[in-house]
Structure 1
Amino acid sequence: MRAPVRQIPLVTQVSEGFRELIASGRWAVGQKIPGEHELAAELDVSRATVREALRGLSVTGLLEARIGDGTYVRATNEITGVLVRDDLSALEHVLDARAGLEAAAARLAAQHATPAALADLAASFEARKLAHDAGDRAGYSHADGLFHRAVIHAGGNPLLIRLHAAVAELIEESIEQTAVLPEDPEVGAAHARLLHAIQERQPDAAAGAAYALSASVKSAAVPE
């Protein structure tokens, strides 16, 4: 991280520097960051400046100060940070929100998906199946995330794409939490129905398949 330039408020510069470290992954989610004294010495600023910058990022939900322990990275963007901070990131809530986003995108994808978007969908679906059959849970989770992202992008709606990106961390975490090998047969069949409906240009069927897919994942993962 570069030492701050003195022409603009130091707190603003320091805060932006910390944001860059979080966004780049150098300060990863869940990681304990260096203490105030170390950061102040590295940047050649006062501890008060560092403390104010850290406090501001804690308010936005990017950081979490734990009394007697230190400060940890909670999220890479403010939307996710607020959701986590306000206890809105429970798996059930995330799955329900995913259902709405993906059903809307699936309907649009069935109407507007380009050949390239359809190819991405098919490729991620096949990668998901291959990883599942190989017993590769990490590969399966990754491919599953790519498939759901491909549904969103195939819809072509820039607002849905931005909304999905804003909560991508929570969605990826929900996929990791619900990934089980071998998967429930209904979960696999639901993915196949969603892909087929989009490929066949059936908007109503695609939206219904997306909702059914979310319901099958939620049923398998969230106890009644």
Structure 2
Amino acid sequence: MPLGALRPSPLVEQATQQLRDQITGGDWPVGTKLPGETTLAKTLGVGRSTVREALRALAGAGLVQARQGAGVFVIAVDPEEDWPTRLRQAAVTDVYEVRMLIEVEAAQLAAQRRTDEDLTALDAALARRREAAEGSNADFVDGDIALHAAVVAAAHNPVLTGLFAEFLPVLRQGLIDLVELLQLRPGGQHHGDDGHAALVAAIAEGDAAAAGSSLRRELRQTLAQLHAA
């Protein structure tokens, strides 16, 4: 599969894809030294900086490795899956276990760091969760997730916030499926309302131990249901 000049569009992405195709297609087996940047740039019709960025992307995917003074070599033909892909393919129970680790710590930090604005947001999220219990299963799950997101936000740790956001797509669908399978909201009951109210109260009182305990108990109950489903 010969390389060819690229069309005008995001050039780094195009260069990365063409080079990736050469590797995964078997044109450049493991151990092969790639042509130099100047040669690749001329072949692809781009600048050396574009080639350099493409090679960095391939290195990040675990396909190539730069060896000082020797060049860039192919070290694998199967790209490593990125984090979002791994999450999509993971079992929801595995994702949920990691969610517990993140959220329990976030709840404890929230109790120590929450502001007046955070408390207002938590009260509003709790009210929304109660209202959502009368709606569809998706509405209920979205209301529940919004409350948990407010707890994580109150921890004021951008890394925790980012990690939680990565889990949301997998968690949302898994929880919708669970609610439907186990009929957790018969008659419009507010499933888990007491526990979530206790969580918000513990954060408002600045009781980190109680906040962590309340959330851990709630999440363990749901995880047990997921395992049993």
Q: TM-score range by the shorter chain?
A: 0.5 to 0.7
- Greater Rg, structure 1 or structure 2? 2
Q: Is the CA contact (8 Å cut-off) linking 1:141 and 1:175 kept in structure 2?
A: yes
Q: Residue 80 of structure 1 aligns to which amino acid in structure 2? A: P
Q: How far does residue 165 in structure 1 lie from its aligned partner after superposition?
A: 2.0
Aligned length: 162
Deviation at residue 135 of structure 1 after TM alignment: 4.0
Residue 80 (str. 1) matches residue 81 (str. 2):
no
Q: Which residues of 2 match residues 46-85 of structure 1 at below 5 A? A: 59=79, 61=81, 78-85=82-89
Structure 1 distance, partners of 2:10, 2:225, is 55
Evaluate the alpha carbon distance shift between residue 109 and residue 9 of structure 1 in structure 2; reply closer, same or farther with a 3 A threshold. closer
Alignment check: 8 A CA contact 1:4 1:10 kept? no
Aligned counterparts of 2:223 and 2:98: Cα–Cα separation in 1 = 12
Which whole-Å deviations, capped at 9, do the CAs of 1:190-221 have from their partners, x for residues lacking one?
A: 21211111111100000111110101112333
| Alignment-mate amino acid for residue 155 of structure 1 | A
Q: For the residues of structure 2 that align with 1:116 and 1:101, how far apart are their CA atoms?
A: 22
- Find runs of 4+ consecutive structure 1 residues off by over 6 angstroms: 183-186
Q: Which residue of 2 aligns with 1:112?
A: 113
Identity of matched residues, %: 25
Return the alpha-carbon distance in structure 2 between the equivalents of residues 101 and 117 of structure 1. Answer: 18
Please list every run of 5 or more consecutive structure 1 residues that lacks an aligned counterpart in the other structure: 16-52, 62-77
Residue identity matched to 2:105:
A
Aligned counterpart, 2:173? 173
TM-aligned CA distance change 1:14 to 1:145, over 3 Å: farther
Kindly indicate whether residue 223 of structure 2 is the aligned counterpart of residue 218 of structure 1. Answer: yes
CA RMSD of aligned residues (A): 3.0
TM-score by length of 2: 0.61
Contact 2:107 2:208 in 1 (8 A): yes
**Counterpart contact for 1:184–1:220, Cα < 8 Å:** no
Q: Summarize the Cα distance change of 1:208–1:7 in structure 2 as closer, same or farther, 3 Å threshold.
A: closer
Q: Spell out the pairing of 1:119-134 with structure 2 (5 A cutoff).
A: 119-132=120-133, 134=134
> Partner residue of 2:157?
157
| Structure 2 match to 1:139 | 139
SS of the residue aligned with 1:167? helix
Query: Could you say if the C-alpha distance between residues 7 and 92 of structure 1 is closer, same or farther in structure 2, counting changes exceeding 3 Å?
Result: closer
Match of 2:100 in 1: 99
Measure the CA separation in 1 of the matches of 2:219 and 2:198.
12
Q: How far, CA to CA, are the matches of 2:12 and 2:104 in structure 1?
A: 46
Deviation at 1:83, TM superposition (A): 3.4
Any conservation in 2 of the 1:5–1:13 contact (CA below 8 Å)? no
- Residue equivalent to 1:148: 148
Structure 2 residues not aligned, in runs of 5+: 1-6, 20-57, 62-77
Contact 1:101–1:160 (Cα < 8 Å) also in 2: yes
Query: Which stretch shifts more, 156-165 or 175-184?
Result: 175-184
How far apart, in 1, do the equivalents of 2:118 and 2:80 lie? Answer: 35
Q: Look up the SS of the partner of 1:176 in the other structure.
A: helix
Q: 1:194 aligns with which of 175, 194, 199?
A: 199
